[in-house]
Structure 1
Amino acid sequence: MFLGVDIGGTFTDLVMLDGDGGLVTAKALSTPGELELGVFAAVAEAAAQRGMTGEELLAKVTAFGHGTTQATNAVIERDGARTGLLATRGFGDTLAIQRLMGFTAGVPVDRLGWYSRRRYPAPIVPRHLVRELRERVDHAGKILLPLDEDEVRKAVRELVAAGVETFAVALLWSFRNPEHEHRVGRVIREEAPGAFVSLSSEIAPVLGEYERTATAALNSYLAPKVVSYLDGIEQMLRKRGFKGAFSILNSAGGVMPVAEAARRPVTLVTSGPTGGVMGSIHLAKKLGYRNIITTDMGGTSFDVAIVVEGKPLMSTNHEAGGFHIATPMVEVRAIGAGGGSIARVVDGQLRIGPDSAGARPGPVCYGRGGTRPTVTDADVVLGIIDPDTFLGGKMKLDRAAAALAIEEQIAKPLGLSVEQAAAGMRRIVDAQMADTLREVTIGRGFDPRDFVIFAYGGAGPVHCAGYGVELGVPRMVVPVTSMAHSAYGALAADLQFSTERALLMRGGGGDRDASEGLDAARIQTAFGELEAECLDAMSRAGVEAADIRLVRSADLRYRRQTNDLIIPLDAGAVTASSLADLAARFEQTYEQTYGKGSAFREAGIELTTVRVEAFGKARRPEIALHAPTEAPAPGRRSIFEPVVGRRMDCAVHNWRDLPMGFTVEGPAVIEHPETSVFVAAGQVARLDAHSNITIEQRQESRDGRR
């Protein structure tokens, strides 16, 4: 048995595959403050579907992949550890200054002009917990001023007396020569045995004083909460009979052993959303799609990522809580739009989100104390979600309460009927999500019509008919694992380890070739050393050499710019020819990202970092599904079609009863115990050979829209 689990803001999702590829999905309400309870509730639900207890199931599980929100929550809620920072003398304010980046960090583009909204984030290391050390290493790694270890001991003792639990060390140019940081680390471990220590030269050995400092500080800030959670859930799994391998999904698109995750918790900040992206890539390869847009609409957020030619767009500078993390991550854009997003009327206008009702109290229809109408309440009132079959009938929804909340707080203030108000709520949230999709596609130089949308999460299949058509994509795919797709990604992802090294070189400029000046021999040597480190990490994790795949890349930018692009580099010897190809691909990627004609090769390029990622192939069975040969007669119910704006008769099908190749025209609802797929009027849905649902606009509808 193989398990994948992902904890969301509202639900904890689980996917299970047996040795023959038999698929089981399960959901349980997330339990804030005691997240492991939601995990075990989902395990118990999956076990019940196989006629077992949770303990009996866990005893049969050989691999457990887990996507976690612990790091994300700690940043958002600001309840990380009391952290002390040791910096080079004169540079103790690096975290506070932030290159002015923090002044607008996390502020939506449309609000950058609202100067009253601009402010620096609350510090993760208060200034009184920063100590400056007399030492200096220059840009070439030469020691100019030796480290004074007595001063280090005094600083560490002061911080311990001030209640510091963890330490971050970020000295100037330590990625060129980490000797001083290593010595500081040894002193900390002598003076404060058991304290968690992050050295910037190990966590983020890259150019960029602020980003490197912030990454090391966040790593230590997050460590106790993340490590405690990972240790706790693993011990509870072991006590309940689990004897297999336990791995954690990281933000770069792979899983890692718990020991590595505990050492580098900062790499888990976008663990949950990354799972859905990796699950989509895995499925897209089987379906033959190279360019996809992944859309995860859950209870609290709408997460979007772009996959081009089978590879997700990556970022080396991710913002979290107003600070910046210099480790590679799958680029995921998130907005506050989910099933739990709260609707309100402000100055005569209907607005949705970004705040959410979450798991508790949740939408009004949940009957858990929620009083403010949400998107899910609107879907129930419209008839798109059946209150009697939600979560397979295990959770009855209160349509009357949802209708009353919408009537009092939305319909009456706007002079609309309850159904018109609910339809307006749905159309507005769909438009907000479509706007986000435009930003990450058209805004990056991509034509949405060249992509296929993958829709998942509890609410993604309910709403993709709206935001997909709004964007203009030709096809939407609802995966068979859509109701727990991020959990499927945690199960299907390969083991991943990455390491990088700052290697500043300048090439080209003026009339010279862009790559002229880049030292192929030095780059080859650096890649060789990084690859050896990756192979050693994979070996320690028990991965066979034949199952290891190494991927090289380099970070490049035009001279005097501050942001890099990650450009892949082919395996083999690094030569003048391969570097010329690297420079050409950088220019192509630059114009694709920033617009045709934006490249400026006369400025010359800078190579700042070389990186190697190792992937250990996950040997998991493929999903094997048994589908019926003939569909039973559908149910019928009346819905208020939100786009057409009137009541319509709607076919209702059970996803599990549908045969391969089944086709239905909208309006229709295809129900699963853990989600519902809405097919709007003018659309056609088909079940493919893998039991995924594909939704397209009917030809005459497309022609009518032109």
Structure 2
Amino acid sequence: MVTQTAHDRRFFVGTDIGGTFTDLVVLEDGAPPRLFKSPTTLPDRSGGVLAALELAAEAYGLELSEFTRRIDHFAHGTTAATNALIERKGAPTALLTTRGFADTLLIQRSMTSWVGLGAATGHYSRRRNPEPIVPRAGIVEVTERVDSAGREVVPIDLTEVRAALVEMRDGDTEVGALAVSLLWSFVNPAHERALAELIKQEWPTAYVTLSHQVAPVIGEYERTATTVINSYLGPVIRDYVNLLQTRLREAGFTGELSIMDSGGGVMRAGDAAARAASMLTSGPAGGVLASVALARRLGHRNVITSDMGGTSFDVGLIVNGEPLVERTSEVGNYHLALPRIKVQAIGAGGGSIAWVDEVGALVVGPESAGSVPGPACYGRGGERPTVTDADVVLGIIDPDHFLGGRMKLDRPAAEEAIRRYVAEPLGMSVTDAAAGIRQVADNQMADLLRKVTVEQGHDPRDFVIYAYGGAGPTHAYAYADAAGIGTLVVPPTATVHSAFGTVISDRYRAVQTTDPQRTPPGADDPAAHLDSDRIAATFATLIDRCHADLDRDSRATFTRIVYLKFRRQTQELPVVVPEGRLDGQVARRLVDDFLASYERIYGAGTALRSAGLELLTLRVEGRVRLTELAAAAPRRGGTLAAAVLGQRSVHFPETGLVPATVYRGESVGPGLSLPGPAVLEFAGTTVVVGPRQQADVDDDANLVITAREDS
């Protein structure tokens, strides 16, 4: 490795904007990552990114313009798409669909009132239909029909569509985005292309999404919902990305901006507006991808990723070294035909507000105080108690050391908020009320951990848990223990782990299509009834499309995936196709892999082997490696005694208030081991080691927390 001079230093930067803080990580060849946090700025979130960049430039002793000029790669994860959908702040959108199918989006397969009910509300009585993305009056029926084989049955009537477009364009509506979703367009897109050409002539300023481009798969509701939401979010993402790029250019950045894709990598910023719906879990996906890289380095096959920030608690799974990916997803009470890294979330974060309901029960979240006004201890006008306020009162967070001392917290304000809203209504002390707030939050998070493991056929004892986010390492000792998970890892990038994932991720593109094949019931050799040549030809077409989207980059690698299910079932399972020629022998291996996967999830003996199989969806994922950096040399030297800051009383559920040793986290280097109870204070987070635990620091500075042998 060639040592860089001050004049040729080059940086790789990743950012992630959360509801409370904006995270930024800077990578440099042969150096450890450097981490920065700044409060998220609303409504212009780019302000928080620039503030974090200024902190980084100052840390490197450079002017902002000089620092940004040296950035070779800038990757960005954001909740902008999610926020716009949940808050219904997208662009007014109209839908053009096949005559007779105008109510497809409104009916939602009769699933609308309970989509995501368990995770989002927890109460059956709170079920409700979502606010329509497109009102019934904004749905235009198009006279046309193509059958399932792609044959034109009814020619498209462009005259009536032109009249509807002109009326909409010149009328009182504020429509600025159009979604086109015709019934069998993924088989034959000719009619959708004709509509696109007509729209270009009559309404060139409208943002347009065609269903055969964004979701060319069977399932008219899911495809229509995906198309509509992409158009609804497209103008918002376009404006957001353009503003961020402008602010970065003004700051001196001259490179290319990449945006995190929910499916498993980054895309060019210029592609973001056209693929807006694929950004709906942009931020959490970065944390899972960073965890995949860490798991491979540490040799962990099964990992639960847990990200606790200021607003939410996000959980993902890595099984057999790969992140779980769902082919369809649920966002904002709609089903989308877009595969994404599977992340489940609840409203449990440091800013989650605690309150006493009408029956006298203590409730924490899902409402969050966010960054403005924030928890009461922030001193920014917030009066209601939060999880962070409880952590301050319980001695877990030092008010003088928050964000490395850059932000002082107000403990009396936290105590007053808890006294007024929780302690007095429940007739208990402020300390007990704070402990109750923390325990309710921890139990809610443990419940989610059990939901993603036990309910999906996994034994949590087979997993290691990775904890990150600003509050994850603070609460992980409790929620991991409650879920029965014995090993907890806090990476050195924990406080900005999702941002770290964006900058180390590959450029990513996935394409898929529906090409149905079925095997007869009772067949001794189902694979013999699959047309391997036809599957191979479809994959060749998909790979060519994917490679084109990746600019024909010679470094691109491709993964082929088929989705199989038993006949007449609804749930498909993904099976990766091995490299090489796809023939009958490979097809048999795919069937065997599907059966093994099915029984692993649903139990031994559950595979309906005589039912016959269905293959509907074929998918190709393409990747191009963007960031190649030499690993940083391990930090060596130092003693545990030198890292001690002192002791303070900390409240633990199992012991009450007890003395805990407090360490400067950055000074606890590889090879050191420390017993609990202990608190490690880092610039961006606080790590808690429970009374019955110990923490060991490995060669890469990961904190590995396990039960003490004497506990």
Alignment of 1:283-682 (within 5 A): 283-346=294-357, 347-539=359-551, 543=553, 545=554, 547-625=555-633, 627-631=635-639, 632=642, 634-682=644-692
Distance 2:404 2:123 in 1: 47
Cα separation, partners in 2 of 1:24 and 1:151, compared to 1, 3 Å: same
Cα separation, partners in 2 of 1:556 and 1:54, compared to 1, 3 Å: same
Alignment of 1:86-125 (within 5 A): 86-108=96-118, 114=124, 116-125=125-134
Aligned to 2:187: 176
Q: Is the 8 A contact 1:168 1:197 kept in 2?
A: yes
Aligned to 2:697: 687
Aligned to 1:704: none
Alignment match of 2:240 (pick from 223, 229, 233):
229
Distance 2:574 2:262 in 1: 16
Distance 1:207 1:588 in 2: 26
Tell me how far 1:151 sits from its aligned partner. Answer: 1.9
Distance 2:602 2:14 in 1: 37
Paired amino acid for 1:169: V
Cα separation, partners in 2 of 1:591 and 1:298, compared to 1, 3 Å: same
The range that moved more, 617-626 or 81-90, is 617-626
Tell me how far 1:196 sits from its aligned partner. Answer: 1.2
Q: Is the 8 A contact 1:21 1:621 kept in 2?
A: no
Cα separation, partners in 2 of 1:113 and 1:476, compared to 1, 3 Å: closer
The range that moved more, 383-392 or 529-538, is 529-538
Aligned to 1:280: 291
The range that moved more, 601-610 or 249-258, is 601-610
Paired amino acid for 1:141: G
Q: Deviations over 1:220-270 (max 9, x none)?
A: 000111011111111221122111121001001100111222211110000
Tell me how far 1:530 sits from its aligned partner. Answer: 0.8
Aligned to 1:246: 257
Q: Is the 8 A contact 1:641 1:667 kept in 2?
A: no
Q: Deviations over 1:633-659 (max 9, x none)?
A: 512232233222422111111121122
Matched, 1:128 2:137: yes
Aligned to 2:148: 139
Tell me how far 1:109 sits from its aligned partner. Answer: 6.3
Aligned to 2:269: 258
Q: Is the 8 A contact 1:373 1:402 kept in 2?
A: yes
Q: Is the 8 A contact 1:627 1:656 kept in 2?
A: no
Cα separation, partners in 2 of 1:622 and 1:100, compared to 1, 3 Å: farther
Q: Deviations over 1:9-66 (max 9, x none)?
A: 0000000012333421100000121000000011111111111232221011000000
Paired amino acid for 1:467: Y
Alignment of 1:186-205 (within 5 A): 186-205=197-216
Distance 2:581 2:512 in 1: 18
Matched, 1:37 2:47: yes
Distance 1:556 1:628 in 2: 50
Tell me how far 1:555 sits from its aligned partner. Answer: 1.6
Aligned to 1:3: 13
Q: Is the 8 A contact 1:628 1:658 kept in 2?
A: no
Cα separation, partners in 2 of 1:111 and 1:267, compared to 1, 3 Å: closer
Paired amino acid for 2:213: E
Q: TM-score, normalised by structure 1?
A: 0.96
Tell me how far 1:275 sits from its aligned partner. Answer: 0.6
The CA RMSD measured in Å over matched residues stands at 1.5
Q: Is the 8 A contact 2:29 2:632 kept in 1?
A: no
Tell me how far 1:113 sits from its aligned partner. Answer: 7.2
Cα separation, partners in 2 of 1:111 and 1:79, compared to 1, 3 Å: closer
Tell me how far 1:628 sits from its aligned partner. Answer: 4.6
Tell me how far 1:412 sits from its aligned partner. Answer: 2.6
Q: Is the 8 A contact 2:643 2:664 kept in 1?
A: no
The range that moved more, 568-577 or 331-340, is 568-577
Cα separation, partners in 2 of 1:343 and 1:623, compared to 1, 3 Å: farther
Paired amino acid for 1:526: T
Tell me how far 1:625 sits from its aligned partner. Answer: 5.0
Paired amino acid for 1:159: M
The range that moved more, 173-182 or 618-627, is 618-627
Q: Is the 8 A contact 2:643 2:668 kept in 1?
A: no
Instruction: Give the secondary-structure state (helix, strand or coil) at the position aligned to 2:515.
Output: strand
Distance 1:246 1:623 in 2: 24
Distance 1:112 1:461 in 2: 26
Paired amino acid for 1:486: S
Matched, 1:69 2:42: no
Alignment match of 2:222 (pick from 208, 211, 235):
211
Distance 1:625 1:268 in 2: 35
Instruction: Give the secondary-structure state (helix, strand or coil) at the position aligned to 1:602.
Output: coil
Q: Deviations over 1:455-476 (max 9, x none)?
A: 0000000011101111111211
Q: TM-score, normalised by structure 2?
A: 0.96
Tell me how far 1:110 sits from its aligned partner. Answer: 9.8
Question: Runs of 5+ in structure 1 lacking a partner?
Answer: 702-706
Q: Is the 8 A contact 1:520 1:576 kept in 2?
A: yes
Question: Runs of 5+ in structure 2 lacking a partner?
Answer: 1-10
Distance 1:522 1:366 in 2: 62
Q: Is the 8 A contact 1:364 1:372 kept in 2?
A: yes
Tell me how far 1:667 sits from its aligned partner. Answer: 0.7
Distance 2:627 2:388 in 1: 38
Q: Deviations over 1:197-224 (max 9, x none)?
A: 1110010000100000000000000011
Tell me how far 1:103 sits from its aligned partner. Answer: 2.2
Tell me how far 1:514 sits from its aligned partner. Answer: 3.2
Matched positions, count: 696
Instruction: Give the secondary-structure state (helix, strand or coil) at the position aligned to 2:374.
Output: coil
Cα separation, partners in 2 of 1:335 and 1:111, compared to 1, 3 Å: closer
**Percent of aligned pairs sharing the same letter:** 46
Cα separation, partners in 2 of 1:191 and 1:178, compared to 1, 3 Å: same
Paired amino acid for 2:546: C
Instruction: Give the secondary-structure state (helix, strand or coil) at the position aligned to 2:551.
Output: helix
